[in-house]
Structures are given as C-alpha cells and as structure tokens.
Amino acid sequence: MSDPYTGDVEVGGPADVRELPGLTITKLAVSEMHNNVYLLRDAASGQALLVDAAAEPDRLGELVRDVDLRTVVTTHGHWDHHRALPELVAATGAETVAHPDDAADMPVPIRRLVGQGDTVSVGDQVLEVVHLRGHTPGSIALVWRGPGDAGTHVFTGDSLFPGGVGNTWEDAARFTQLVDDVEERLFGTLPDDAWVYPGHGRDTTIGAERPSLPEWRARGW
C-alpha cells in the first residue's frame, strides 16, 4: 500500500499523519511564521515526543491531549520555534531538550542538554542528535533510522530546507560552517531516500537536495 503522507500542511488546516513501523509522525503547521510542529509517537508504548513547540498552545494542547507526551525537543533558540513551550511543559510535565549553545535563548529551563552524537528516545525508538552550526550556534537535527523498510527520517529545524540551508544573514563564516556541517553530518551519513522534515514549509529528501550542494556554495546562501 502506498504511503498517503505528503507533508503538505497549511496553517489552520489539519495535520498530516505518517504511519511507519514503530513510529507515527504527525505534522502540523502553526503561526504567522508557518512553523512546522512534529509529534512522534512510539507504537509500542504510546509515549510521544514533540519537535518544536512553536506557537498556538491551544492547538498543540489538542494535538497531545490523548498521548503520553514525555519530551519536547527544541531544534534551536529562535523565538518562533518555542513560543508555546512554557504552556505545553506546564500542562504535560514533559522534559525539555536542546543544545547547550542555544539553551539560554529558551523561555523555560532546559532539563536535558544534548550535543553531536547523543540520542533522545521516545519509547523504544531512538533519535540521533546531529549538531548543525550556523543558523544558530546550537541548532540540532534529529535522525530516526526505522526498522526494515521504514526508512530514515531527519527533522532539520531551520538548518536544511528544500532548495538550501538555513539563513545565516550574509555572514560568510556562518554560512560556510552550516554548509560544511550539513554536507558532512547529513549528506555524508544519510541515504538519498532519507526524508527531510524542516522547520517551515514542505518536506524534501536528501537525494533531492544533494545535487544542488555545489550551487548553494557558489551562491553563498
């Protein structure tokens, strides 16, 4: 049976749900910044993890109402990715997770600090932490390598989008650092069919973006 998931969601519209062996991924768009929020639920335990409590706490409350939310990972410290974090944590008691270099920018204390090579679990499922420096000092991605034909899935925050890396505000050093990290730590380790779930907008795959890397370097953004 083909996978009906597309990842094409609109602010105010319904979530898109992807059922994978061992993990359910729910994508929801919120806020005037068109942020993506991802709810990951382990099939065996029912435990859940949320990636970026970006905004609209009422909608996020509805999203997690019937799940056992244990963890909220914030991909980076920019304000539009954590505006609903205080309300969600207060309501659920979920553990907050982020990179130490961005933790001071969060609106609540970060209970668990993670870096390159660490892992975050949701039930029986394990997500690898990838540190991608440049968009912010402490930006991270999460990689889930599913069982069997479930494939590889990576939640990239604002570090990788369809058509390029995240904004580095015309800072050449930050741009080079981000492209280097994305090339080495994502393109260099993930297969072409790895599905990319970005912090805003539509999804993509590693294979769709890989051929454009030289073009991104040449244009400088």
pLDDT, average across residues 140-164? 97
Report how far Cα 134 is from the mean position of its chain's Cα atoms.
16
Whether residue 162 has pLDDT greater than 60? yes
pLDDT in tens, 58-101: 999 999 999 999 999 999 999 999 999 999 999 999 999 999 99
At residue 208, the pLDDT reads 98
How much is the pLDDT for 210? 97
| Check whether domain 16-219 has CATH 3.30.70.141, yes or no | no
State the CB neighbour count (10 A cutoff) for residue 58.
9
Whole-number pLDDT of residue 50: 98
Give the global pTM: 0.98
Is residue 41 within 8 A of residue 48, CB to CB? The reply is yes
Which region holds residue 188: left if phi is over 0, alpha if psi is between -120 and 50, else beta?
A: alpha
The Cβ of residue 19 has, within 10 Å, a number of other Cβ atoms equal to 13
Query: How much is the average pLDDT of 107-112?
Result: 98
pLDDT at 83: 98
Q: What is the pLDDT of residues 16-43, one digit of tens each?
A: 999 999 999 999 999 999 999 999 999 9
Q: Whole-number mean pLDDT of the chain? A: 97
Angle 57-64/85-92 helices, nearest 10 degrees? 30
Q: What is the pLDDT of residue 2?
A: 75
Percent of the chain residues topping a pLDDT of 90: 99
Which pLDDT score is estimated for 1? 54
Q: What is the largest CA-CA distance in the chain?
A: 48
Task: Please check the confidence at residue 151 and state whether its pLDDT lies above 60.
Answer: yes
Which pLDDT band, with edges at 50, 70 and 90, does 217 fall under? Answer: very high
